[in-house]
Amino acid sequence: MAATQLTASPVTVSARSLASLRASSAKFGTLKPGTLKQSQFRSLVVRAASVVAPKYTSIKPLGDRVLVKIKEAEEKTMGGILLPSTAQSKPQGGEVVAVGEGRTIGKTKIDIDVPTGAQIIYSKYAGTEVEFNDVQHLILKEDDIVGLLETEDIKDLKPLNDRVFIKVAEAEEKTAGGLLLTETTKEKPSIGTVIAVGPGSLDEEGKRQPLSISTGSTVLYSKYAGNDFKGKDSSNYIALRASDVMAILS
């Protein structure tokens, strides 16, 4: 997490948590000596998003949730330039290290399709971050997993459920009058070519409903939907739900 840490061994408190403690002290008055015992906070790690005690040796996700070991952020650009922590993009991928028992839809028991050890891409703002054994993890629902990625190139993403993976059309380089557009003034396209589709969502009986969108189709999609990615070929890609696709163009 990017929160600044103020450390006073053996307790680590984030700046945000410290501000909260100060606010509490102002509201309720100063704590009397002896009110808190050292044993109550020994080896406790306080984070903005989670509280983890090192005495726990495992995390078992429940229901349709999975536990993901978050991939480390890229410290360098493709050209080898070292990035400061503030410029490093937040990872959206990781390795599944544990899965829940699944869920029940109607009378059908639905197991989690993603196996442990799988490399996945997940929605940008999904899940709850947990630091476990000094490593950042994420607990999220299976439905928040965008797809499987078995290589280092996003173009090989295999979407799950009702997700559609699209190669975005290139933005117009010039205006109708012939003026060159800069990167900041180019309008974000909302048209692209479908390169992969998921198996479909589950209906009320737990059966898969195939998507009506097929690979190779040129589609128009909602402008602000989905998760954007940049491929190693410098092409832009987007993964979104089939419901965010508005039309098929031909």
The type of residue at 109 is: K
Q: Which residue has the higher pLDDT, 33 or 157?
A: 157
56 — pLDDT class (breaks 50, 70, 90):
confident
Is the overall model pTM greater than 0.95, yes or no?
Answer: no
d(C-alpha 192, C-alpha 107), whole Å: 39
- Give the pLDDT mean for 176-187: 52
Check whether 27 has a pLDDT greater than 60.
no
pLDDT tens digit string along 119-157? 999 998 899 999 888 899 999 999 999 999 999 899 999
What structural domains does the chain harbor? 58-149 (2.30.33.40), 159-249 (2.30.33.40)
Check whether 186 has a pLDDT greater than 60.
no
d(C-alpha 237, C-alpha 165), whole Å: 7
d(C-alpha 237, C-alpha 182), whole Å: 20
d(C-alpha 145, C-alpha 199), whole Å: 13
Beta strands in 149-226 (DSSP E): 158-159, 163-168, 191-197, 201-202, 208-209, 218-221
The type of residue at 125 is: Y
* Cα 135–chain centre separation: 16
pLDDT tens digit string along 192-229? 999 999 999 999 888 899 999 999 999 999 988 899 99
Check whether 185 has a pLDDT greater than 90.
no
* pLDDT attached to residue 38: 45
Q: Which residue has the higher pLDDT, 189 or 82?
A: 189
172 — pLDDT class (breaks 50, 70, 90):
low
CA-to-CA separations, 243 to 46, 103, 200, in angstroms, rounded? 39, 23, 11
Is 210 in a helix, a strand, or coil? coil
Check whether 85 has a pLDDT greater than 60.
no
